[in-house]
């Protein structure tokens, strides 16, 4: 069977080049930047080789289209997540489980993981609503690899045209496996290239306070989880939910790459993702109940879900990937009121950083001499596939 990734190369050589003839500037896109021109203060910005035009979102979506029946599948998955968050009877008994690599860097391994997850989902979907983490943009504390969409060849040169194409092709293949997908929406422009493929979106800890991100959420058509800040406090995330629930008039871009004024409808499907912060965890009963109390108050005057998902990684695991396992178990026991706990039905789900092999690796250096280990994260450390499968089966049991 020809997969979308097989088609991607010819798409790149055919359609991308025909786009280039439509756009005279694009030919220079793939040339190394001429620094003398870029540094010339008299050089008009738009003519500078440091500015490389990209294909428009419409053109990429046309080149790598989402079939109608898959668009319906994405709609159905978004609705299921929304129903779970709204306590709609058919979904409210389920646990949302967002699981997958910290970042996607190798298409083959990502598809391998997706296949395993899709097969496991068939066995567990009566009690778990499984969504694959399929992150192609990474926020960095300072610098570092920013994800497949920015630097697909991982050579620090950056080729966003190729990165967006490979990201869309990969996500399409994963959607074709029947999986709902989660990404972090980091740059609002990236979202225009990928939004139709996504069932759940995260706003990261580093951007939940940004007005631009709040406006973007207000315009998005899927449920959005907002992380607490890197300092561990949740008020920023609640403010983001309130802001995003409202309509905004803001600057944005349309699908043809035209800068535009947007009148956003407001997004009623937001919730919080607790990820700890500054070395402090917030997956315990007291922290979760305190967050839910704040959310219940905010929900009196605003359209938002008084629900939390616990990110078992990041500061909650103190970046020790194996800690994710007992954390997820504890959180689901709280959700179910097991072991003498009073049930906390405001816990909607858990998030896991999980890949094929346990741990992580540097991209370069003596550790791997530039030869990456297959299925091993190049950003945050992940639990292995075997650990993930065992954990998901145990969570399924707890949800019984």
Ligand X SMILES: O=C[C@H](O)[C@H](O)COP(=O)(O)O
Ligand Y SMILES: C=C(OP(=O)(O)O)C(=O)O
Judged by the rule CB under 6 A, the positions of this chain that interact with ligand X are: 102, 138-141, 144, 314, 379-380
Determine, following the binding rule CB under 6 A, whether residue 314 of this chain makes contact with ligand Y. yes
Which C-beta is closer to ligand Y: that of 57 or that of 114? 114
Q: Which of ligand Y, ligand X, none binds 117 (CB below 5-8 Å, type-dependent)?
A: none
Return the residue of 77, 96, 135, 292 that touches ligand Y, per CB under 6 A.
Answer: 135
Q: How far is CA 226 from the centre of its chain?
A: 11
Helix (H, G, I), strand (E, B) or coil at 122: helix
Per CB under 6 A, contacts with ligand Y among 165-224 are 184, 204-206
Cα separation, 172 vs 174, whole angstroms:
5
- Minimum distance between the CB of residue 381 and ligand X, rounded to whole angstroms? 10
Q: How far is the CB of 400 from ligand Y (least distance, A)?
A: 29
Min separation Cβ 378 and ligand Y, Å: 13
Q: Which of 98, 102, 174, 383 binds ligand Y (CB under 6 A)?
A: 102
By the rule CB under 6 A, 266 interacts with ligand Y: no
- Of positions 61, 227, 307, 335, contacts ligand Y by CB under 6 A: 227
Our CB check for ligand X shows the closer of 102 and 334 to be 102
3-class DSSP state for residue 142? coil
Q: How far is CA 121 from the centre of its chain?
A: 19
Termini Cα distance of the chain: 38
139, 221, 266, 268: which one binds ligand Y (CB under 6 A): 139
* Sequence-distant (≥ 6) Cβ neighbours of residue 153 within 8 angstroms: 159, 162
Assign 3-state DSSP to the chain and report helix, strand, coil percentages, each to 5: 45, 15, 40
Closer to ligand Y at the Cβ: 248 or 314? 314
d(CA 286, CA 283) in angstroms, rounded, equals 8
**Which residue, 73 or 317, has its beta carbon nearer to ligand X?**
317
Shortest Å, Cβ 184 to ligand X? 8
Q: Which residue is nearest to ligand Y (CB)?
A: 204
Looking at the Cβ atoms of 174 and 186, the one nearer to ligand Y is 186
CA-wise closest residue to 352 among 322, 376, 379: 322
Q: Does 146 bind ligand Y (CB under 6 A)?
A: no
Shortest CB 272 distance to ligand X, Å = 17
Main-chain phi, psi angles of 155, to 5 degrees: -115, 15
Residue 61 binds ligand Y (CB under 6 A): no
| Residue given tokens 């699981």 in the structure block | 99
Give whichever of 102 and 295 is closer to ligand X, judged by the CB atom: 102
Could you say which residues in the range 28-47 bind ligand Y, by CB under 6 A?
none
CB neighbour list of residue 229: distance below 8 Å, 6 or more residues apart: 205, 208, 209, 236, 237, 277
Please state the closest distance from residue 86 (CB atom) to ligand X, in A: 28
Contact 185, 213 (CB under 8 A): yes
**Least CB distance from residue 142 to ligand X, whole Å?**
6
On whether the CB atoms of residues 352 and 377 are closer than 8 A, the answer is no
119 exposure class (CB count in 10 Å sphere: 0-12, 13-18, 19+): exposed
Tell me if 312 contacts ligand Y by CB under 6 A: no
Q: How many residues bind ligand Y (CB under 6 A)?
A: 11
Rg over alpha carbons for the chain, rounded to the nearest Å, is: 21
The distance from CA 106 to its chain's CA centroid, rounded to whole angstroms, is: 16
Binding site for ligand Y (CB under 6 A): 102, 135, 139, 184, 204-206, 227, 275, 311, 314
């Amino acid at each position: 069977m020809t997969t979308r990734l097989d088609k991607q190369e010819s798409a790149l050589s055919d359609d991308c080049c025909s786009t280039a003839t439509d756009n005279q500037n694009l030919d220079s896109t793939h040339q190394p930047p001429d620094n003398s021109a870029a540094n010339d203060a008299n050089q008009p910005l738009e003519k500078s080789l440091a500015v490389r035009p990209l294909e428009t979102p419409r053109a990429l979506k046309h080149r790598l289209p989402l079939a109608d029946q898959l668009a319906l599948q994405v709609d159905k998955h978004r609705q299921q997540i929304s129903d779970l968050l709204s306590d709609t009877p058919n979904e409210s008994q389920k646990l949302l489980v967002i699981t997958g690599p910290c970042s996607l860097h190798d298409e083959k391994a990502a598809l391998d993981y997706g296949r395993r997850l899709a097969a496991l989902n068939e066995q567990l979907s009566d009690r778990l609503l499984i969504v694959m983490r399929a992150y192609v943009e990474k926020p960095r504390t300072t610098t570092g690899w920013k994800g497949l969409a920015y630097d697909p060849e991982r050579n620090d040169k950056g080729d966003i045209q190729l990165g967006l194409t490979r990201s869309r092709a990969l996500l399409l293949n994963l959607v074709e496996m029947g999986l709902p997908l989660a990404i972090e929406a980091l740059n609002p422009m990236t979202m225009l290239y990928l939004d139709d493929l996504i069932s759940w979106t995260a706003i990261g800890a580093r951007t939940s306070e940004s007005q631009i991100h709040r406006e973007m959420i207000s315009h998005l058509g899927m449920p959005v989880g907002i992380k607490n800040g890197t300092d561990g406090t949740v008020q920023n995330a609640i403010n983001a939910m309130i802001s995003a629930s409202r309509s905004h008039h803001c600057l944005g871009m349309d699908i043809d790459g035209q800068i535009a004024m947007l009148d956003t409808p407001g997004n009623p499907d937001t919730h919080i993702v607790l990820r700890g912060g500054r070395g402090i965890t917030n997956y315990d009963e007291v922290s979760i109940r305190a967050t839910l109390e704040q959310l219940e108050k905010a929900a009196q005057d605003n359209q938002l879900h008084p629900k939390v998902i616990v990110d078992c990684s990041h500061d909650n695991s103190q970046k020790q990937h194996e800690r994710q396992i007992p954390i997820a178990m504890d959180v689901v026991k709280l959700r179910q009121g097991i072991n003498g706990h009073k049930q906390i039905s405001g816990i909607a789900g858990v998030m896991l950083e999980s890949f094929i092999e346990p741990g992580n690796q540097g991209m370069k250096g003596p550790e791997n001499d530039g030869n990456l280990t297959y299925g091993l994260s190049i950003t945050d450390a992940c639990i292995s596939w075997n650990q993930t499968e065992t954990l998901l089966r145990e969570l399924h049991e707890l949800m019984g």
